[in-house]
Structure 1
């Protein structure tokens, strides 16, 4: 597959609280063929840790 499935963009930024649901979203993107782009950005909103992780479409050849 040369383009992301379901009309998803080539570049995405996933954001959310640093919890299991966020980790599952990143893991799902990786399983689809996205790759991490640089490291995550992390901040604290006064109550919880918020994470942003960029991913780019880069499926492996095969």
Structure 2
């Protein structure tokens, strides 16, 4: 199965650590990162899509963060 996740967080080192952790678990970057202003919090937010080939068939019960 091909798995997809969109990682998001505020523009802090925590976001970089989240992406780095995913890469070290075998996820691959998919496309360019995004950067946008969150009016509700008054902070910048980052997003990065990642993909991964995984065993099994997809279902809505798959916990993508555990792949």
- Name the structure with the higher strand share: 2
Q: Give, in whole Å, the separation in 2 of the partners of 1:34 and 1:52.
A: 15
TM-score scaled by structure 1? 0.72
For structure 2, which runs of at least 5 residues remain unmatched after alignment?
A: 55-67
For structure 1, which runs of at least 5 residues remain unmatched after alignment?
A: 4-8
TM-score scaled by structure 2? 0.67
Of 12, 17, 22 in structure 1, the residue corresponding to residue 5 of structure 2 is 12
Question: Once superposed, what is the RMSD of the aligned Cα atoms?
Answer: 2.1
